[in-house]
Amino acid sequence: MVIASIAAVVLIGAALVVHGWPRYSPPPQPTAAQGLASGPPSASPSGAATPLPPATPTRVRIPVIGVNAPLTGLSLLANGHLDAPPEADRNLAGWYQAGITPGESGTAVIAGHVDNTQGPAVFYNLGALKKGWTIDVDRADHTTAVFTIDAVQAYAASSFPTQQVYGQTADPELRLITCGAGFDKSRQEYLGNVVVFAHLTGSTRSKSV
């Protein structure tokens, strides 16, 4: 199953759609306790770190769910949709390279497949993440941006909150997105998306630099 596309609204919007039916257990979905209590996260999240300068992200790491994946740049297609990472590579995610780089002020976006025809893919367990857990994004300037999760939310495609997810913020924030929110067997597609909201809480620098 593959991510299809997301329309360009603000940064990018709409829903990621996947086709097919898994021959394995459905991906975990976030509980209500992990969602946004009301509205978007605070404009000034507790513990927000100083923004980093722009630098190309190279890898996303979430050890608690076994994610350690290289990143590829994603661009918009002629129809205004975001291209998807190559579906054949199960351990590959992509970032919207015309937008914010993870760590600088604003909202950065990383998308990944939930699965493909071979089985679970890089963001299969995204829905199992919890508030307060961390996400590391390695960058080409030899820094690692550390983000703390504020919420994990599932959205139906029919009610995807584009501005809430992709709207720009004063602080450095990150959104991870994949398919989820249930599966329609008759249409052979997921019903929406799982979105992780996170904000920058620190950074580290490679000792070799």
Position 100, amino acid? I
Measured CA to CA, the distance from residue 45 to residue 48 in angstroms comes to: 6
Q: Which residues lie below 8 Å from residue 152, measured CB to CB, with a gap of 6+?
A: 30, 34, 35, 126, 127, 129, 130, 131, 194, 195, 196, 197
Spatial separation of the C-alpha atoms in residues 168 and 10, rounded to whole Å: 8
Distance CA 181, CA 176 (A): 15
Give the separation between CA 16 and CA 193, rounded to whole angstroms: 6
Write down the pLDDT at residue 116.
Answer: 82
pTM: 0.84
Tell me what pLDDT residue 5 has.
Answer: 39
Distance CA 192, CA 154 (A): 7
d(CA 142, CA 72): 17
Residue length of the chain: 209
Over residues 6-60, the pLDDT tens digits come to 443 333 333 343 444 455 678 888 989 999 874 555 545 566 789 999 999 999 9
Q: What pLDDT digit, counting tens, does each position of 131-160 carry? A: 999 999 999 999 999 999 999 998 888 888
Average pLDDT, the chain: 82
Per-domain residue ranges of the chain: 44-205
In this structure, are residues 92 and 86 in contact, taking their beta carbons and an 8 Å threshold?
yes
pLDDT digits (tens, 9 = 90+) for 52-99: 999 999 999 999 999 999 999 998 778 766 777 888 888 999 999 999
Q: Is residue 186 scored above 70 in pLDDT?
A: no
Query: According to DSSP H, which parts of the chain are helical?
Result: 162-166
Whole-number Å distance between alpha carbons of 41 and 197: 8
Query: Could you tell me if 160 and 154 are in contact, meaning their C-beta atoms sit under 8 angstroms apart?
Result: no
| CATH architecture assignment, domain 44-205 | Beta Barrel (2.40)
Measure the CA–CA gap between 119 and 18, rounded to whole angstroms.
Answer: 13
Question: Quick check: 165 and 12 in contact, CB under 8 A?
Answer: no
d(CA 10, CA 178): 18
